[in-house]
């Protein structure tokens, strides 16, 4: 493994040298149509199934893509799994040794992407890989510049095992973002956009904080033409969730930044209402 000045590592194990050479020469010739970025933290068990299903779906639609895994030094066999898959598929891995976080991992992957069309999805198979072509097609054809794999449009669904608390949590988080975007599922981690939108979002001060990088890119990148593709959202295939209270607090901070920049009046109005509610509650205790 070699470490770059950014603190990234890329796999250079002998076992992958052959496939890396093959991919490098392929890379020199032609950039892929689509770069798919998957952030990972302890997802080794999910990577092979994800990779197989994804490239089967892409091959069926003649889509030429690369898969970039951005792993935060999981040390759980993810590097080895990718090295083995790289013998058969155009997959590579970026290992970050000094940084942690889902959103910043996606940003690192998008910056390393060779294609002009970018996809972000989870590793845990919550996002059906078979739907990737449906997200990609309208973007590659220039019809839209942001496509979401949505849980909240007609025909979509989420697994029944979601408890009432998780549904409520998701609904509140979605509702809080409503004035910022027309998307029904702005919290989705399954989306497709263009390098141009991503670059614009970076220019407008993209903050890779917390979990909701899709919302951040859509709002800062000022996307105009969006579409939502219905998906069946499954529970994670294997492993455990990394979403906790810290990520929820980070989401609120991220929202405050987005409102301050794009809807300052709504931020002031919301703050006044919030303080009024707090003052009302406080009266019961004094």
Binding footprint of ligand GTP on the chain (CB under 6 A) = 39-41, 43, 70-72, 100-102, 105, 122-124, 126, 189, 236, 241-243
Q: How far, in Å, CA of 74 to CA of 42, rounded? A: 5
Compare residues 72 and 216 and give the one whose CB is closer to ligand GTP: 72
Compare residues 142 and 163 and give the one whose CB is closer to Mg ion: 163
Q: Which of 54, 10, 16 is nearest to 35 (CA)?
A: 54
Minimum Å gap between C-beta 276 and ligand GTP is 32
Q: Which residues contact 268 (CB under 8 A, 6 or more apart)?
A: none
> From edge to edge, which strands make up the β-sheet containing 146-150?
2-3, 8-10, 91-96, 65-71, 34-40, 117-120, 191-194, 146-150, 226-230
Minimum Å gap between C-beta 271 and ligand GTP is 27
Contact between 46 and Mg ion by CB under 5 A: the answer reads no
Contact between 124 and Mg ion by CB under 5 A: the answer reads yes
Q: Bridge-partner residues for 158, per DSSP?
A: 233
Contact between 126 and Mg ion by CB under 5 A: the answer reads yes
Question: For 173, how many CA atoms within 13 A lie in the half-sphere containing its CB?
Answer: 21
Q: How many CB atoms lie within 10 A of CB 58?
A: 24
Token pair for residue 263?
Answer: 């809807």
Minimum Å gap between C-beta 218 and ligand GTP is 18
213: helix, coil or strand? helix
| Part of the chain binding Mg ion (CB under 5 A), chosen from 22-30, 89-97, 120-128, 190-198 | 120-128
Q: How far, in Å, CA of 152 to CA of 182, rounded? A: 12
Compare residues 122 and 145 and give the one whose CB is closer to Mg ion: 122
Minimum Å gap between C-beta 186 and ligand GTP is 14
Compare residues 72 and 145 and give the one whose CB is closer to ligand GTP: 72
Minimum Å gap between C-beta 169 and ligand GTP is 10
Compare residues 41 and 198 and give the one whose CB is closer to ligand GTP: 41
Task: Name the binder of 34 from ligand GTP, Mg ion, none, CB < 5-8 A by kind.
Answer: none
Q: Under a CB-based contact definition with an 8 Å cutoff, are residues 32 and 90 in contact?
A: yes
Q: Which residue is nearest to ligand GTP (CB)?
A: 241
Residues between 196 and 255 with contacts to Mg ion, criterion CB under 5 A: 236
DSSP 235: P
Minimum Å gap between C-beta 211 and Mg ion is 10
Token pair for residue 157?
Answer: 């669904």
Positions that interact with Mg ion (CB under 5 A): 122, 124, 126, 236
């Amino acid at each position: 493994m070699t470490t770059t000045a950014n603190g990234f590592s890329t796999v250079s194990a002998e076992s992958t040298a052959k496939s890396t050479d093959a991919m490098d020469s392929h890379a020199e010739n032609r950039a892929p149509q689509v770069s798919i970025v998957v952030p990972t933290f302890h997802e080794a068990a999910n990577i092979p199934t994800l990779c197989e299903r994804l490239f089967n779906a892409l091959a069926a639609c003649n889509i030429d893509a690369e898969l970039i895994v951005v792993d935060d030094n999981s040390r759980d066999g993810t590097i080895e799994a990718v090295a083995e898959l790289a013998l058969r598929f155009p997959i590579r891995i970026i290992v970050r040794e000094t940084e942690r976080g889902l959103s910043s991992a996606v940003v690192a992957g998008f910056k390393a992407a060779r294609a002009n069309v970018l996809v972000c999805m989870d590793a845990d198979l919550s996002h059906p890989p078979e739907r990737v072509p449906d997200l990609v097609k309208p973007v590659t054809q220039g019809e839209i510049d942001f496509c979401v794999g949505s849980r909240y449009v007609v025909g979509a669904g989420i697994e029944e095992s979601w408890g009432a608390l998780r549904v409520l949590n998701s609904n509140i988080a979605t509702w809080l973002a409503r004035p910022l975007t027309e998307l029904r599922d702005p919290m989705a981690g399954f989306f497709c956009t263009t390098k141009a939108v991503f670059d614009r979002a970076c220019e407008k001060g993209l903050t890779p904080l917390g979990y909701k990088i899709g919302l951040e890119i859509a709002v800062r990148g000022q996307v105009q033409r969006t579409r939502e593709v219905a998906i069946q959202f499954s529970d994670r295939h294997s492993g455990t969730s990394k979403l906790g209270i810290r990520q929820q607090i980070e989401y609120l901070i991220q929202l405050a930044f987005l409102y301050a920049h794009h809807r300052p009046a709504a931020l002031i109005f919301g703050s006044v209402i919030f303080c009024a509610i707090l003052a009302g509650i406080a009266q019961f205790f004094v």
